[in-house]
Amino acid sequence: MKYFTAFILLLLFVSCKKEEKTAGEKVVPKIETPAENKKDTLTTKAIKLEVFGFPQEVQGCSCYFATDREEFVKQNYIYVDDYQQNGFIKINGERIKLEFDRKNEVLPDKMLNINLHNDQFKVNLKGKAVEEGEIETHLYKGTLTVENKARKKTVVEVYGECGC
């Protein structure tokens, strides 16, 4: 009976649900790429990523990234995915759903390369594992690139976790 109870507790711990955090959302500063200049910034809208909490649609295995370790601990994410089909970013107060170009890729040497898209945006997340996380997870540092249909691009350094 002891083992059955321990198994149930372990199952509950692993399958816990993360709630979406909506209070205190912040705008992440835009990092300009070298190709942009003042004229481009003044005449077109820049892509400004915003932080958001964990989406309720994402349960189980996932990747979730913030701009740095401090924001990651606060659960102020700028990118979240379900590790298989969909990813999420937030721009102009709207949470945007994207589809994977193919399944999540963890390359040799624990390199991460995820490509997503929808009809408005293309997103690329590249990272390298920097340490082991909790059970079956790794912590990564890398870059998140978001490009819109007008080919305006934002690149942000990220810190986050992937796993089950």
User: Mean pLDDT by 10-residue block, N- to C-terminus, for the chain (164 residues)?
Assistant: 45 44 50 39 63 90 95 96 91 95 68 94 95 88 96 96 89
pLDDT at 100: 93
Structure tokens at 145: 């690139």
- What is the chain's length? 164
Instruction: Collapse the DSSP code of 40 into the 3-class scheme (helix H, G, I; strand E, B; otherwise coil) and give the result.
Output: helix
pLDDT at 9: 42
pLDDT at 19: 44
Taking the model in full, what pTM does it have?
0.70
pLDDT at 32: 44
pLDDT at 6: 46
pLDDT at 85: 87
Structure tokens at 162: 């992937």
pLDDT at 133: 81
What residues have CB less than 8 Å from 87, skipping those under 6 apart?
63, 79, 80, 81, 97, 98, 99, 100, 114, 116, 123
Specify the DSSP element, H or E, that contains 138: strand 137-148
